[in-house]
Amino acid sequence: MQSDISTRWISANGTLVNLFFGAAFWLLLRNPTRYSPATFYFLVLAMAANFFTGTGYFLLSGVAGFGDWDDVIEGLHPYWMWRGGLVALGMATYFAAMMLVGCKLQEFARANADSRRIRRICWTPYFTDGILAGFAGILNPAGLFYVIASALPSTLGANAGLLSLPSMMRRWRQPAEPIDTIRRSPAWIAVAAIAVLLFIFVLGRGLTRSR
């Protein structure tokens, strides 16, 4: 999103919304027995996407020196201290987000089984998300540059925790009663297909609101 009005509040707002909804999904997941395996998996992925994007932005802005949170600290002194604080905050909160997501995904781990199931449930959404971001970015009216410079790095970079989680979770204690198989659901597939079309052909092309 872009605005012709520039304030620290606007720059910080995207990350704050991500963190808010990440926390909301975490609260919904406090009792996993309330949901079917597919619904539980969806909620975990929704929590992961919001937490990883929100916390990853702190790290990106601190390391790269650009982005929303670099705009937030612009003009604050000493700048190097604020930027270093963003790096430290990003590292700490991103690791905490990985632990929260991993604890929920661990519900799918089977005792005495190899790690292929965990890899599938972590890596499949990661690469799917990257492909969809690329297709949506192609239609961005700002040009192909933003696909390479923004859409793919922000998606693949922010969710990189999903690539590392399987090896991290391998050392964790497995649940006594893992969640059952995630069965293919025509309803979920239909909802996903509609969401993908809206994401690529509506949001990907951009929405303009003028005062």
What pLDDT sits at residue 22? 97
Domain of 168, in residue numbers: 8-203
Task: Tell me the whole-structure pTM to 2 decimals.
Answer: 0.86
Asked, for residue 208, whether it belongs to a domain, the answer is no
Asked, for residue 210, whether it belongs to a domain, the answer is no
Does residue 60 or residue 210 have the better pLDDT?
60
Asked, for residue 85, whether it belongs to a domain, the answer is yes
Asked, for residue 2, whether it belongs to a domain, the answer is no
Cα(first)–Cα(last) distance of the chain, in Å? 16
For residue 112, is pLDDT > 60? no
Give mean pLDDT, residues 83-107: 94
For residue 211, is pLDDT > 90? no
